[in-house]
Structure 1
Amino acid sequence: AGEIVIERISPNARVSWGARVNSTMQGSMRATVVLTGVESPFLVEGLKPFAALSREPEGKLKR
């Protein structure tokens, strides 16, 4: 996962990464990426949060 992130970011970026082995995950992997100092036109101040989504279905489920 770390290599995928490094391939897609600026070559001038400073990258620190580490790994931890958890034997209870039974052959699976979980990745967390934390980015700071990002300058992007896709990040705009003042964006409103998404409206809360209802967990209830809109109609009855058919069996």
Structure 2
Amino acid sequence: SNKSPQEFAEEVLKEAHLYNGFNLVLADICTSTMVYVFNRPKHGYLSVTPGIHVLTNASLDTPWPK
């Protein structure tokens, strides 16, 4: 796709209410941009900063017992 992660996230969010809870990470390796898309507890997206992150059944970077 020629869309940026942000543009693609906005497209996904138009129908996010149709799906059960989800987490989605979108990235463009050419521009080093990454966004985290979610639809629970409400829907939206956030830019992901460089570094190490954790994605579980909860929100991005939320501690999750194993």
TM bin, normalised by shorter chain, reads under 0.3
Q: Which has the larger radius of gyration?
A: 1
If the length of structure 2 is used for normalisation, what is the TM-score?
0.23
If the length of structure 1 is used for normalisation, what is the TM-score?
0.24
Higher strand share goes to which structure? 2
RCO higher in structure (CA 8 A, sep ≥6) = 1
